[in-house]
Amino acid sequence: MSILEKYEAALKNKDEATMNELLHDDFKFTMHKSGNTLGKSDVMKWAMSGDINQRDTRIVYENDEVGIHHAFVTFDDGNVEAVMAVYKYKDGKIASLETGATPMPK
């Protein structure tokens, strides 16, 4: 199972232990739509909250250095976004994540 497959499953199942193993201690998440940047603990808390619900997920590309992922994400507030994500790996873990999001009709 690839890093992104493990990440998708951990997010879906709210598997905190696996998420903690997959995210590098220096992890940084940059959301270009909002300009926000989050660290590992912030992302772990958000992921476990259940606010992120992905569908039609697709791994576009993945190797030992990077992963590219697309999904439609519905948030608890009802907003839906098409999200393209680029993951960079370090030491076999996710070291950074950058996303671009397009609002979709509810």
What CATH number corresponds to the domain at position 33? 3.10.450.50
For 8, the domain range is 3-104
pTM: 0.91
- Provide the phi-psi class of 92: left if phi over 0, else alpha when psi is between -120 and 50, else beta: left
Query: Residue 35: pLDDT above 90?
Result: no
Q: Is the pLDDT of residue 105 over 80?
A: yes
Q: Mean pLDDT score of the chain, rounded to an integer? A: 95
Cβ-count burial 51-63 (b if 16+ within 10 Å, e if not): ebeeeebebeebe
> How many distinct structural domains can be found in the chain?
1
In the block, residue with structure tokens 């905190």: 16
